[in-house]
Amino acid sequence: MTQHIRSITPVLNTARLHLRGLLPADAPLIAMFAGDLRVSRHLAVVPHPYPEGAAEGFIAATLANEGPGLNWAITRKGDAELMGVIGLVEKPEGMALGYWLAPPFWGAGLMSEAVAAVVSFCRIGAVPLLLASAHQDNPASARVLQKAGFVWVGSGQDYCLAQGRMVASDYFRLALE
């Protein structure tokens, strides 16, 4: 990630959403939603059960710029309450996009809107390549990526901490240059 992108946490707005930096006050909702097995089972690095203090640690690392990327809280416009998180993580081959949305908000196209906002931000920030993956038992996540222009590049196995096993995954990429 370029230092320019890494040094800021921009606010991103869409028709329905407000993406902002994480706040310490987001910790209870992150713990509750990321701790829901319906969410964590589709994420590589989120354990289940979700450890006490993990949300606070995640937020503190993000705010201190100690993590390997940039994270946004997904909220509705006019409502500061967190519905999910979307972020970028620097990898040797490019920027990896990751995201989750709380189950009460599934199926309304909100994550597609959030991903489109982050992709637009990356275009402006001169990020040349975005990478993403989706567990094969989560076709909704793959659809979100495809709607944003990501193309499937292969399949494999990834370890899922919450499931404690390898899971079948599809890999996607989006060239921005």
- Condensed to tens digits (0 to 9), the pLDDT of residues 77-136 reads 999 999 999 999 989 988 999 999 999 999 999 999 999 999 999 999 889 999 999 999
Q: Cα dist. 110→92, 157, 171 in Å?
A: 29, 27, 22
Considering the entire predicted model, what is its pTM? Answer: 0.93
Contact 72, 9 (CB under 8 A): yes
The yes-or-no verdict on residue 1 having pLDDT over 80 is: no
Q: Which of 131, 175, 176 is CA-nearest to residue 156?
A: 131
Give the count of beta carbons closer than 10 Å to the beta carbon of residue 47. Answer: 15
Contact 108, 79 (CB under 8 A): no
3-state SS, residue 55: helix
